[in-house]
Structure 1
């Protein structure tokens, strides 16, 4: 199991940041190479499921998730249930002031491919981290414009 924690400041209140974050079908507007759809439930509570395709054209993979905790407007936890991505994720919105917040992305991943995955992770991690970091920077701009 490996853990990745990334944070980004957002010049928007926590409620707005939460609303932007949990607008699952628009996640592709800020998450690099990803489109998300709600596959069961309404995407707004425990038990709802999501499918996130990451890639370009036919090349990529689908990350399926089930929401395991739902604590608006501060925390959503998911269980990754796919063949490639397994483990847990958390989306945290932390109020900083009345008008600003911080978005925290946490992944605890069970790496695929056994020993090959564990040996390859140090090589892949910088690119993965870079992609998520860029996406979170784009998310901050998305959230800041969300309520307008």
Structure 2
């Protein structure tokens, strides 16, 4: 299992940051190369499921913790992506943590994966600051 934690400062109130980070249908506006949709439930409660497709790879997730405006935790259910993910709000910071069982080729793609996450966080800060 590997753990990644990335943080970005956001010039927005915690409630706005939380609403922006859990607006699944608009996640493609800030997560690089990804389209997200709610596939079960309302997307705003424990047990709801969402599917994120990044470059054609499905990452189905079940919400296991819903604590507005502080955090949402998911369990990755896919074949390629397995583990847990947390979006958290700490004051004016958005913290993205992933604890993943990674495939054997992960060391080869890790630099690109981390770069994509960093760029996504930069885009998220702008997205959340303008979120309506």
**CA displacement at 1:122 relative to structure 2:** 2.6
C-alpha distance in structure 2 between counterparts of 1:46 and 1:93, whole Å: 18
Q: Which runs of 4+ in 1 moved over 4 A?
A: none
Check if 1:136 corresponds to 2:121.
yes
Corresponding residue SS for 1:73:
coil
* CA RMSD across the alignment: 0.8
Corresponding residue SS for 2:130:
helix
**CA displacement at 1:76 relative to structure 2:** 0.4
TM-score, normalised with respect to structure 1: 0.87
C-alpha distance in structure 1 between counterparts of 2:61 and 2:34, whole Å: 14
Mapping for residues 11-90 of structure 1, pairs under 5 Å: 11-55=11-55, 60-90=56-86
C-alpha distance in structure 2 between counterparts of 1:26 and 1:125, whole Å: 25
Question: Which residue does the alignment assign to 1:98?
Answer: none
Segments of 5+ residues of structure 1 without an aligned counterpart are: 96-100
Q: How many residues in Structure 1 have an aligned counterpart in Structure 2?
A: 132
Corresponding residue SS for 1:146:
coil
Q: Deviations over 1:117-138 (max 9, x none)?
A: 1xx3332111100000000100
Segments of 5+ residues of structure 2 without an aligned counterpart are: none
C-alpha distance in structure 1 between counterparts of 2:37 and 2:86, whole Å: 18
In structure 2, which of residues 93, 106, 114 is the aligned counterpart of residue 102 of structure 1? 93
TM-score, normalised with respect to structure 2: 0.97
